[in-house]
Structure 1
């Protein structure tokens, strides 16, 4: 299962609206004993990279049993993270220092969804 976006997907994502703000929906399913690795990653991101690139965690929570979902579609954690622009997000994930800590995220996750969102009524 994929946990990191492919280079082509990142390029398409930025080209759609490079300067527009974006809220990223993160759905996370942890690997066995992956929560500690994810905590290390999230601390580093919150303390260093979100401030550096203007990002802000809007919500972070533990997933509970889904009320409406197919079998196996519940998630361990959900995050909403706002970035001032898609270009800022790309700069963050391309930062060599970020790439060093991103390995903790990759090790922590069995599966993930990283979905950009924009407010209704705003077309991209």
Structure 2
């Protein structure tokens, strides 16, 4: 199972850029003993998140799903906002960030990293 984006994935993310901020939905399934490695990755990654204008909006443990097919339960869910897809791309290309990605890769058995676009174009509803 894939846990890291490929170069082709990043190219597609940037090519499909509608502009503006992006919120990345992270669905994580930990490898045995992987939670500690992911927590260390998160601690180290927070520096890069701040440097590239990212913000952790939410992080939580998954619970028993109400509506899901077999195998669709996740151990953790994160929502991370970046000022742009380009900022996300620059962060994951940063040599310092790349040095810590092995912690994330080892921690996960499976992951979904889904970029999202606001329905209202990023404007707040009144």
With normalisation by structure 1, the TM-score equals 0.94
1:10-29 equivalent positions in 2, closer than 5 A? 10-17=10-17, 19-29=19-29
The answer to whether the Cα contact below 8 Å between 1:37 and 1:108 also exists between their aligned partners in 2 is: yes
CA RMSD, aligned part only? 1.0
Are 1:4 and 2:4 matched, yes or no? yes
Q: How many residues align?
A: 121
Counterpart in 2 of 1:77?
76
Counterpart in 2 of 1:114?
113
Q: What's the offset of the Cα at 1:72?
A: 1.1
Are 1:101 and 2:93 matched, yes or no? no
Rounded Cα–Cα distance in structure 1 between residues aligned with 2:91 and 2:117:
19
C-alpha deviations, 1:10-65, integer Å up to 9, x for none?
Answer: 0110122274210000000000000010000000111x101100000000000011
* Gaps in structure 1 of 5+ consecutive residues: none
The answer to whether the Cα contact below 8 Å between 1:25 and 1:114 also exists between their aligned partners in 2 is: yes
* Gaps in structure 2 of 5+ consecutive residues: 122-126
